[in-house]
Structures are given as C-alpha cells and as structure tokens.
Structure 1
Amino acid sequence: MKEGQLLPEQIAHQEVANSLNEWYGAILKRDKWTATQLRKEIEDSLPYMTKNQNILLYFNLIESRHKLLMEEYDDSGKILGNIETIKALEQVTDEVIQYYYYFFSGVYEFYQKKYIQAIRFYRQAEAIIDKIPDEIEVAEFHYQLAMAYYRIDQHFFSINHAEQALQLFKCQQGYVEKEIYCEMIIGANKLDMRNYTECEKHYQNALRKSIQAGFTFSESLAYFNLGLCYGRQHLYPTSAEYFKMALSIHEHKSSTVGMKSMFELAHVLYKDEKFEEAQEWHKKGLYEAEKGGEEEYKAKFIFIDGLYNTKDALSMELALDHLEDQKLWTDVAELTLDAAFHHKKKGDTLLSSHYFEKAHYARDQIIRLMEGLN
C-alpha cells in the first residue's frame, strides 16, 4: 500500500469523526432539527464502522450533550455515568476525549443546578483546553463557565468569561445567536450589580440582534430578561408586559423557560397588587412545574403564594427547606430578601427581621461555597 493511503476502516473513522463534529456544531447553534437529523445518520452508520473505542466514546459524549439540548436531562446523566463505568477516564489517552468528558459533565451538573460541581468539572476541562484547537469550542467553554459563575453571584468572574466568549464568537461566522447569549449573560451580571443602564443596553442589543436575525427563542429570552430588569426597578406594569411578550412566543412558552416566565410574571403581579391575575399565572406556572417535575420552581411558586396570598408560613418554610437542601442559596437569598421587605412594608418587624436573617445566612453560604472551590 502506498505511503499515506488510508485503509477503508480508517476512512470510515474519519468520516464518522467529521460527522460527529458537524453534529456538535449544530448542537452549539441550538439547531435542534439539524442536530436530530445528523444524530440519526451517525447512529445508522455506527454498525458498519470497524470498532474504534475513541469514536464510540466521542459519540456517547456528543449524545449526552444532545440530550441536554433536547431537555432530556436524566438521559444525559445516565450516558455520562455509563461512560465513567465502562472505561476509567484516566485510561483514555486521547486528551480531547478527556476534555469533552469533563466539559459535558460540567454542563450536565449545571442543568442539574449543581453549580459548584459544574465549576469543578470545568476547571478539570480547563487544565487541558490547550489541546483543543477549535476557537469556537474555547468560546463555548468560556460561555458555559460564565453562566456557572453567574449562578453563584461571582459577577466579575462571570463577566470576564462572557466577554472572552463574546469576542471569540464575533470572530467566527454563523454564531450570532451565541453573541446574543453572551450579551445576555453580561446584562444579567450588570442587573445583579444594580447597573440598570448597562444591563438594559446589553438586553436591548440582544433583542435587536435577535429580531434582525429572526431568532425567535433568543428574542423571547431578551423579553424575559428585560422583564427582570424592569421588575428590579419596581416598574411592575412594564415588567409584566415584557414577560407576557416572552410568553407570546410558542417556543418560549412550551420550554422550561416558559415556566420561569410564568413564575416571574406572577411574582411582579403580586408585587403590583394585581392579585387575581397573579393567581391565574401562579396556577398555570405551578401546573407546568408539577408536570415537568421541576421541584425548584414548585418550591418557589409555593413560597410566593404563601407570602402574598395564603399567608401559609409552614408551606413557605418547607419550600425554603427544599431550596436550602439543594444549595440554591442565590434563590433563597432573593426570595427571603423579598419577603423581608414585604413584611417591613406591612409593618411586621418580627417577620421582616426573620427573613432578613435568612437572607444574610444564604449570602454567607454562597461565600462558603466559593471558599470550597479554592
């Protein structure tokens, strides 16, 4: 055989590897239809490919990421668990495979709302990211890390990684939607830092780009985030309108984010003393949370209903217990601070003090979690 000539099975391996990369590219672009079509084509080709453990591992890793895109979170976790069981990762010599295992495990833990564990996996991936020559993959890494740091209130770390991701995505064609998501992460951090002018600028940029490109899902997320921005500024009627605009988009309403919009909408309507409408959205959102097994949001819906409607202190405490058990300290801090100000406004200093203490405790836990990372 001539030098450089490839065996048929080697050609098959290369073809499958190329298809896997194409599949992953569709996942990064959130192109569900193309990703699903490519997955089917690759799966059909695997029986005809000569055994190659790394290709099969790579397929399973991309499959786990595909499941996250399709919001099939339990299936994604099972695939990653099987990979760990089948072959100890330290025995895999391909560092690219190792990188994807750590990175996708981090993404999975993030979707499970285990943000500290996600960051630990990301740090393991970061140690070998120099083996990844693809700038888009590096951008995706910074993007995911930015989201994880945001969820534990590490705003400067989050902004730093989001800005790195944004610049890398801007240098490549076809990743406008990823640019939009980076803008929204930066905006979210600015919101928590109470820099409302900068926050609104980033969200409006995201909205404009989404409308221009025809990305209806990211458009809906921009409306959702603007709703949060105006809600934080106590502009409740404006906030409610933006949540309703988000929910008017079918792709948003039918996703897990739609349930979050229903929660935020009910919350601002309660604050604006639109109790009847608030209870309507509360009922819809709680139904979606129960149907989807979203225990976090079930707890949140129960908490705000107890605060503004039923005055059921026991249910509120049980809801907080669940959030605390899941170490969702940012959510605990936000809800208890809201409750503290609500009771202060009502003149109930005892309950106000109780919830201020809980908010302070939650903030302390966030600091302790970060100390555990270092």
Structure 2
Amino acid sequence: MEVIPSANVGIKINEWHMYINRFDVENAERLKVEVEQMIEGMEEDQNLLLYYQLIVFRHRMMIDYLFPVDSTKKLDKAEYLRKIEGKGRKLSGMLEYYTYFFKGMHDFSLGKFIRAIESYKKAEKKLVRVLDAIEKAEFYYKMAEVFYHMKQTHVSMFYVEQAYEIYKKHDTYKIRMIHCLTVVAGNYIDLEAHGQALPHLQKALEIAEDISNTQLMTKALLNVGCCYNGMDKTTMAIGYFRKAAEVAEKAKAKELTQIYYELALIHF
C-alpha cells in the first residue's frame, strides 16, 4: 500500500476545518471520514496528528453546539483537551495557536470567560503564524463574543469589526456575517443606543432571508422586535414578533416560547 504524504492529509484537514467554520455539518462529516481513512495510510507525522486531534475536538464542539443532547451524554471536553495537549510535547507556533484557541472556546462554552480570555490572549500572540484570512476572522469573532459577554463593549466592537470586514468579502460565510452583525447590535443595545443597533439587526435579517435559513430568520425577527420594543415602538415590535412566531412554528425553533412571552408582556 502506497504511503500518503502528511502534507496531503494536512490540506484535507484544512478543507474539513473550513466546513466546520461554516457550520456545514454534511460536508464536515464527509471530510471527517475522508481524513480518518487517509490517516490510516499516512506517513508518520506527530504534529499533523496533533492538529488532526484538535480539529476533531472542534468538530465535536460544533456538533454539540448545533445538536445539543442530554447533558449526561455530552463529551467531557476538559478530559479530551488534556489528552490532545499531551505532556511535555513541544508544539510548533501554529499548533500552539490552535491549542490555546480551542481551549479558549472550551472555557467560553462553560461560561468561564476570564479563563477563555486568558487562552485567547495566548493564541493572539501566535496569530501571526495564521495566514488564512478566514481563520483570523474566526479568532476576531471569538474575541468579540467573549468581550461582549463580559460587557467590555468597546473592546468587543474592536474585534467584531475586524471579523466582519473579512467575512463580508466571502459570500460563503454569510452565517458568520449574521453573527457579527448581531454582536455589533448587542453592544449598541448595551450602550442604550437602540437606534444604532437597529440597522445591523435589519441587515442580519436581510441576509438570513437571502439564504433562506429559517432558524436564523427566527432569531433575527425576534431581535428586531426586541430592539423596537426597547425604543418604545410597540406596534412595530408586535409586527416583528408575530412574523417571528410564524417562522418559528414552521422551523420548530426553540425561540417560540420567548416570542410568545415578549408578546404577552407587551399586551399586558
């Protein structure tokens, strides 16, 4: 059997990683199987195997995020991280970046925002090794996300604007554009500037409708409704909440309960 060069496997892993970033589950699962088959016949390369294990971790995080299951059956990410990081293993700058970056994502998912920022900051020092623009955008978005949750509004804005500028140049990353616009709007709302938040939420809704993503349409309609409600424009808010309810019922979206709750509060 002919040995497969590790470089060829690395290219395939990068492609797999790209689909993970796009939340394209079907293609991500397909690439995962292809990579697993290639690794069986690959030449020995410990760094490549470590990179593979890190992407497996990120793949599982994507699946957990998109398809949450019973908490008793969830992956023990902390234990998994300890296994893939190894002990006393010297990592290249690129692998160090991914290690810190994925660890930050793990800490963020647990609500440990300070620890997440610490890991992200370590990753940021290695960001110069990352040549792919989309991967940099992903890092900037994650930084914006954690600082938004920490209510560090201006720091969050600094990072999310960098992420959005990259994503908007690539048509295949419209979902991330929506995420960025939502973070921008959330920061403005934290500043009590609903009028400045509204255009970003409306743009997010426009993109969600353009790609016919009913789950994101539901969230966008709900967000626009909440924004109008925060501006005391209840008639406009009711209109968007009702549209959100229609889409949510068809999509079986979990936001339906919140939508009815918001409508109940307004009518009360």
Provide the C-alpha distance between the structure 2 equivalents of 1:93 and 1:53, rounded to a whole number of angstroms: 10
The 3 A distance-change label for structure 1 pair 215 and 118 is: same
1:198 matched to 2:199: no
Structure 2 SS opposite 1:175: helix
Q: Of the two structures, which has the highest relative contact order with CA contacts closer than 8 Å and spacing of 6 or more?
A: 2
What is residue 148 of structure 1 aligned with on the other side? Answer: 146
What is residue 186 of structure 1 aligned with on the other side? Answer: 184
How far did residue 157 of structure 1 move? 0.8
Q: Which amino acid aligns with 1:110?
A: F
Contact 2:47 2:91 in 1 (8 A): no
How far did residue 246 of structure 1 move? 5.4
Provide the C-alpha distance between the structure 1 equivalents of 2:250 and 2:113, rounded to a whole number of angstroms: 29
The 3 A distance-change label for structure 1 pair 145 and 272 is: same
The 3 A distance-change label for structure 1 pair 194 and 69 is: same
1:44 matched to 2:37: yes
The 3 A distance-change label for structure 1 pair 215 and 184 is: same
Provide the C-alpha distance between the structure 2 equivalents of 1:206 and 1:99, rounded to a whole number of angstroms: 30
1:80 matched to 2:74: no
What is residue 28 of structure 2 aligned with on the other side? Answer: 35
What is residue 51 of structure 2 aligned with on the other side? Answer: 58
Structure 2 SS opposite 1:248: helix
Q: Which amino acid aligns with 1:87?
A: K
Uncovered stretches (5+) of structure 1, i.e. residues with no partner: 1-7, 275-374
What is residue 95 of structure 1 aligned with on the other side? Answer: 93
What is residue 366 of structure 1 aligned with on the other side? Answer: none
Q: Which amino acid aligns with 1:271?
A: L
Contact 2:141 2:180 in 1 (8 A): yes
Contact 1:221 1:246 in 2 (8 A): no
Contact 2:221 2:241 in 1 (8 A): no
Give me the TM-score of the superposition, normalised by structure 1. Answer: 0.63
Give me the TM-score of the superposition, normalised by structure 2. Answer: 0.85
Provide the C-alpha distance between the structure 2 equivalents of 1:138 and 1:246, rounded to a whole number of angstroms: 34
The 3 A distance-change label for structure 1 pair 77 and 269 is: farther
Q: Which amino acid aligns with 1:268?
A: E
Provide the C-alpha distance between the structure 1 equivalents of 2:257 and 2:83, rounded to a whole number of angstroms: 35
Structure 2 SS opposite 1:54: helix
Provide the C-alpha distance between the structure 2 equivalents of 1:46 and 1:181, rounded to a whole number of angstroms: 34
1:17 matched to 2:6: no
Deviations 1:257-315 (A, max 9, x none): x2xx25633542553466xxxxxxxxxxxxxxxxxxxxxxxxxxxxxxxxxxxxxxxxx
Uncovered stretches (5+) of structure 2, i.e. residues with no partner: 69-73
Q: Which amino acid aligns with 2:29?
A: T
Contact 1:181 1:218 in 2 (8 A): no
Aligned ranges for residues 289-368 of structure 1 at < 5 Å?
none
The 3 A distance-change label for structure 1 pair 246 and 79 is: farther
RMSD, aligned α-carbons: 2.3
Aligned ranges for residues 216-295 of structure 1 at < 5 Å?
216-233=214-231, 235=234, 237-238=238-239, 240-241=241-242, 243-245=244-246, 247-250=248-251, 253=253, 258=254, 261-262=255-256, 264-265=258-259, 267-269=261-263, 271-272=265-266
Provide the C-alpha distance between the structure 1 equivalents of 2:226 and 2:26, rounded to a whole number of angstroms: 30
What is residue 335 of structure 1 aligned with on the other side? Answer: none
How far did residue 83 of structure 1 move? 1.6
What is residue 348 of structure 1 aligned with on the other side? Answer: none
Contact 1:118 1:148 in 2 (8 A): yes
Contact 2:164 2:177 in 1 (8 A): yes
Aligned ranges for residues 130-149 of structure 1 at < 5 Å?
130-149=128-147
Q: Which amino acid aligns with 1:126?
A: E
Structure 1 SS opposite 2:114: helix
The 3 A distance-change label for structure 1 pair 18 and 214 is: same
What is residue 19 of structure 2 aligned with on the other side? Answer: 26
Structure 1 SS opposite 2:172: coil
What is residue 69 of structure 1 aligned with on the other side? Answer: 62
The 3 A distance-change label for structure 1 pair 115 and 207 is: same
Q: Which amino acid aligns with 2:245?
A: K
Provide the C-alpha distance between the structure 2 equivalents of 1:246 and 1:106, rounded to a whole number of angstroms: 34
Provide the C-alpha distance between the structure 2 equivalents of 1:208 and 1:166, rounded to a whole number of angstroms: 16
How far did residue 217 of structure 1 move? 3.4
Contact 2:138 2:163 in 1 (8 A): yes
The 3 A distance-change label for structure 1 pair 267 and 20 is: same
Provide the C-alpha distance between the structure 2 equivalents of 1:231 and 1:79, rounded to a whole number of angstroms: 43
How far did residue 204 of structure 1 move? 0.6
2:116 paired residue among 115, 118, 126: 118
Contact 2:214 2:247 in 1 (8 A): no
Q: Which amino acid aligns with 2:214?
A: T
Provide the C-alpha distance between the structure 1 equivalents of 2:45 and 2:18, rounded to a whole number of angstroms: 22
Provide the C-alpha distance between the structure 2 equivalents of 1:179 and 1:269, rounded to a whole number of angstroms: 28
